[in-house]
Each structure stands twice: as C-alpha cells, then as structure tokens.
C-alpha cells in the first residue's frame, strides 16, 4: 500500500509540474500573438489617451512576469478575472459551459465504452473470421474521417432525411434530463464513432497477445471453452492497457469536443473558447485552455495510476 501511495504522490507531483509548464506556455503564447489587444477591442478610432487608460485597466502596462504571477495567483484562488466582452466573471461563464461539456463527454463515454469492449472481445473471440474483418474495416473507416465530416453526415441522415434528431444541440440549465439526453444524442454519436475504434482495437490486440501465453495454452489443454478462457483468464490480465486507453479516450472526449460543439452549436467549453477567440477575449481563452489542459493532465494521471494498480508488476519495475 505504501508503494502505491508513493507512486501516486510522484505522479501527482509530476502532473503539477506539467500543469505549471502548460500554464506558462498558454500565457506566453497568447502574449506573443501579433497585434495590440487594446487597439483591437477599442477600434482604430481610439485616441492614444483612451488606449493608455484601457491598457492600464487591463494591466497591460505591467511587465509580463508580473501579469503572469498575478494571473496564476488568481487561478489558485479560483479567480480567472473578468471577460472583456461582457465584463462577467469568467468563473461564472466557465462553470455552466464546463458542466455541459462534461455531460456530453459522459454521455458519449456511456455509449462508447461498452460498445468498444464488447466489439473488442468478440473480435478476439472470432479472430480472422468475416466478423473480425468487418469490424476492423468499419472501425478503421470511422477513425479515418474527421469529426466534422462524421457530424455533417449524421446531421444529413438523422436530421435532414429522417428528421429524428435536432441538428442543433441547444440546451439550457433548465432543460430536463431526458430532453437533454435526446438533444445531445447526435453529437454523442459523433464522438462515439471517433473513439470506439481506438478502444476496440486495443482491447482486441491485448486479448490476442495474451492468448499466446503458457497459462492460456494450459487452459485450452484442460478443455475450457474459448469464451471462458477470454472472459475469465485473458481479459482480467489485459485490464491494465485497456483501462489506460479507455481513460485516455475519455480525456480526448472532454478535450476534443471543440469541433463537435462548434458543428452542433452546443453551449460547451469548446464553443466558448471559439467565440472568445473571435472576440479577442484573451482572459477567457486563457482560462478555457488551462481547464482543458488540467483535465487532460488529470485524466492521464488517472490512467497511469489505474494501470499501475491493475498490474502489480508495474509496482516493482526492473
């Protein structure tokens, strides 16, 4: 138990360092963007006096390292500042949007994970059959197309032709749960088609690699059925890489929803960051980027820790 706690502490420390470096890159990258932020917001007709006063209000007259430390200190206290476009607290804007993004990602995960694991187990069980080849062709085809292309195909089929799902995923905090699920099914299906292939193929590969192990050969010699061998002997030992890829794909679902949210005009964090870039609302862009980075780092750490816990051999690396 102590070894696991030490490993978790090391991973958390590494994650904090990575997150600090990411915050530095985000802040520096936006600082080095071409153009004058004050000039862009006030317009070309702004006088030098108004520009100077606006820069002072935004803190742009201070050195870069001072502004970074002030911004980072506010982040630690949950204060991301105010939006330049509407003067609202950024934490208020992000709270609802991030909850919407998490709902969409969770809905996609609830659909994708069981489908991917089931298809992966069946593909390993019926390896080199027509079913196995068909599943591989379909999953490779789905992963080869970009998200926006899949989204528009689904909109054309289910919204235009069949008129079964709405083409725009417009929800509000007052939307009932099942109405929210119905509205979000089409973007969730888009994300599902993108991530199922990764999880299914790794599940299949992990189980097939274990089928060549001596203890699996012994189970075959004892006359055990192939389905029992895979479910009760191969699958538990393949959990470490499977859990790793599942959690990493969950990270992609949360971080990679930007394109899907824009296509379906879904009021999530991805749509917010795109709107903020168009409005040159840099504080909101910084906050959204940092939250995306923190979510991805946290889920990567979770995948790493779960892999170690489910595979005791990783506790004692040579």
Q: Which of 56-70, 90-104, 277-291 has the lowest mean pLDDT?
A: 56-70
Q: What is the pTM of this model?
A: 0.80
Running DSSP on this structure, what letter comes out for residue 175? S
Question: Which residue do the tokens 């979000």 mark?
Answer: 184
- Give the rounded percent of residues in the chain with a pLDDT score beyond 70: 88
Q: What is the pLDDT of residues 16-63, one digit of tens each?
A: 888 888 888 888 876 776 666 666 666 666 677 776 776 776 666 677
Report pLDDT for 26. 83
Domains of the chain, CATH where assigned: 2-76 (no CATH), 92-315 (1.10.3720.10)
Mean pLDDT of the 195-224 span: 78
State the average pLDDT for the chain. Answer: 79
Which residue, among 90, 261, 256, 120, has the nearest Cα to 196 in the 3D structure?
Answer: 120
Please state, in angstroms and rounded to a whole number, the distance separating the CA atoms of residues 164 and 264.
Answer: 15
As a whole number, mean pLDDT of residues 220-238 equals: 74
Which residues neighbour 317 within 8 Å (Cβ) at sequence distance 6 or greater? none
> pLDDT tier at 292 (50, 70, 90 boundaries)?
confident
Q: What φ, ψ does residue 82 adopt, rounded to 5°? A: -115, 150
Which pLDDT does position 54 carry in this prediction? 66
CA angle, 124 then 125 then 131, to 5° = 80
How far apart CA 41 and CA 9 sit, in angstroms, is 44
Stretch 259-266: mean pLDDT, rounded?
A: 87
pLDDT of residue 59: 66
Work out whether the CA dihedral 158, 161, 164, 169 comes out positive or negative.
Answer: positive
Give the closest residue to 298 by CA, choosing from 22, 1, 76, 77.
22
Query: Do the beta carbons of residue 191 and residue 142 sit within 8 Å?
Result: no
Lowest-confidence pick of 39-48, 192-201, 259-268: 39-48
Q: Cα(301)–Cα(15) distance, rounded to whole angstroms?
A: 7
């Amino acid at each position: 138990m102590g070894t696991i706690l030490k490993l978790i502490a090391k991973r958390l420390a590494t994650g904090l360092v990575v997150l600090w470096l990411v915050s530095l890159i985000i802040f520096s990258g936006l600082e080095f963007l071409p153009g004058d932020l004050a000039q862009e917001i006030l317009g070309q007709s702004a006088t030098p006096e108004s520009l100077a006063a606006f820069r002072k209000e935004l803190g742009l007259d201070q050195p870069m390292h001072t502004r970074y430390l002030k911004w980072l200190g506010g982040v630690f206290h949950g204060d991301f500042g105010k939006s330049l476009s509407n003067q609202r607290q950024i934490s208020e804007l992000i709270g609802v949007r991030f909850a919407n993004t998490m709902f969409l990602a969770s809905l996609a995960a609830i659909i994708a994970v069981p489908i991917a694991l089931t298809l992966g187990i069946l593909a390993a069980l019926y390896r080199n059959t027509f079913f196995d080849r068909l599943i591989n062709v379909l999953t490779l085809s789905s992963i080869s197309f970009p998200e926006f292309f899949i989204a528009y195909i689904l909109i054309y089929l289910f919204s235009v032709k069949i008129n079964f799902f709405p083409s725009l995923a417009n929800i509000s905090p007052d939307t009932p749960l099942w109405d929210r699920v119905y509205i979000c099914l089409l973007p969730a299906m888009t994300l599902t088609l993108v991530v199922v292939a990764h999880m299914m193929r790794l599940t299949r590969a992990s189980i097939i690699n274990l089928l060549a192990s001596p203890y699996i050969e012994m189970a075959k010699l004892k006359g055990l059925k192939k389905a029992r061998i895979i479910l009760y002997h191969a699958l538990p030992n393949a959990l470490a890489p499977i859990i790793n890829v599942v959690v990493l794909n969950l990270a992609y679902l949360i971080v990679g929803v930007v394109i899907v949210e824009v296509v379906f005009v879904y009021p999530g964090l991805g749509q917010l960051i795109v709107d903020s870039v168009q409005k040159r609302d840099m504080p909101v862009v910084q906050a959204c980027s940092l939250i995306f980075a923190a979510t991805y780092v946290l889920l990567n750490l979770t995948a790493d820790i779960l892999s170690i816990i489910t595979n005791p051999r990783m506790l004692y690396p040579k």
